[in-house]
Amino acid sequence: MKNLGPVSFFLGLQVTQQPNGLHLNQSKYVADLLNRAGMSESRPVNTPLPLKIWVSPENSVPFPHPELYRNLVGSLYYLTLSRPDIMFAVNLLCQHMHHPQLFHFQLLKRLLRYIKGTIHYGLPILRSTLQLTAFSDSDWASDSTDRKSIAGYCAFLGETLISWIVKKQTAIAHSSTEAEYRAIATAACDIIWLQSLLTEFGINSSPTKLFCDNVSALALAVNPVLHARTKQIEIDYHFIRDYIKRQQITVHHIASQDQPANLFTKSRSSLRFSNLRSKLTVQPPIVSLRGMIR
């Protein structure tokens, strides 16, 4: 082993030393991606996706170069290592890898235009407490083609975002409560893994606070009497209840406007998207008064 000094570049990740920690971004990777896509001179937009997504008849035709689509979407998926703000958009595009339509390529170009305007954005690693906190959310029956729900989850270690998930649920939920409860179960799985990993480093993160904005789903997680009303989610029920009883996870309510996982479940307006992005700490590196990145 060799001491190569402070890290500055690793597997496509640029690491910038800052006064309060580190900043991770993939600006060079993004520049190469934009050049490959022929979008380096494109005009930036404020959000990755339009607020309303619908397929018009003239756009519901196959994209003539599916290999290009797959190549670009695969590259964008790697970009989500430091850009959780594009996770929902990339997840949506990944669902159409086998048969992309012209409409999906137009959404892909929109996402590249958003990245063009936020090329230096990334995630800070901050000096803070080592308390694990998590947030889960879902958008019930949001996919108009099959009415499956989208679940989103993120976890912070102190003030540093360390884990995030966007997942289309495999089964159709009968209610928003069921969709939210399944999102809580997805979050719980990742929390238990993170707790195990932190334990290996000698960090005790139990109990972990898990925040959800659905009161009914929280009541179902805490109150076993309500279980009989939702037999179709019995497995998730027992899984979550077990870890609540062990006091490894505690569930708490959070107002929808304060829920950072909202960014992972649907398209947002420019103002709302910017607010949620800041809650996830996605930002450019700190710049000194001389204009140099510190």
Type of residue numbered 159:
E
Torsion angle defined by CA atoms of residues 29, 71, 91 and 192, in that order, rounded to the nearest 10 degrees: -70
The pLDDT, as a whole number, for residue 292 is 46
Do 160 and 210 belong together in one domain? yes
pLDDT level of residue 288 (50, 70, 90 thresholds): low
Tell me which of 15-19, 149-153, 274-278 is least confident.
15-19
Do 140 and 246 belong together in one domain? yes
Residue 202 reports pLDDT greater than 50: yes
The pLDDT, as a whole number, for residue 228 is 45
Do 95 and 79 belong together in one domain? yes
User: For 203-237, how does the pLDDT look when each residue is reduced to its tens digit (9 = 90+)?
Assistant: 887 799 999 999 988 887 777 555 544 555 666 66
The mean pLDDT of 111-140, rounded to a whole number, is 94
Residue 69 lies in a domain: yes
Do 181 and 230 belong together in one domain? yes
Do 18 and 108 belong together in one domain? yes
User: For 127-180, how does the pLDDT look when each residue is reduced to its tens digit (9 = 90+)?
Assistant: 888 999 999 999 987 776 778 899 999 999 999 999 999 999 887 887 888 889
* SS3 of 194-245: HHHHHHHCCCCCCCEEEEECCHHHHHHHHCHHHHHHCHHHHHHHHHHHHHHH
Q: Which CATH number goes with the domain that contains 172?
A: 3.30.420.10
Do 114 and 51 belong together in one domain? yes
Mean pLDDT of all residues belonging to the chain? 88
**What are the Cα distances from residue 166, in Å, to 12, 20, 109, 169, 189?**
22, 29, 21, 10, 14
How far, in whole angstroms, is CA 247 from its chain's centroid?
A: 26
Name the domain boundary from 93, 122, 151: 122
Do 112 and 133 belong together in one domain? no
pTM of the predicted model as reported, rounded to 2 decimal places: 0.88
Name the domain boundary from 65, 98, 122: 122
Do 149 and 79 belong together in one domain? no
Report which of residues 60 and 6 the model is more confident about: 6
Residue 276 lies in a domain: no
Structural domain including 38 reads 9-122
Residue 56 reports pLDDT greater than 70: no
Positions of E strands within the chain? 9-10, 13-18, 21-25, 122-126, 132-139, 150-157, 160-168, 208-212, 249-253
Name the domain boundary from 76, 95, 122: 122
User: For 187-196, how does the pLDDT look when each residue is reduced to its tens digit (9 = 90+)?
Assistant: 999 999 999 9
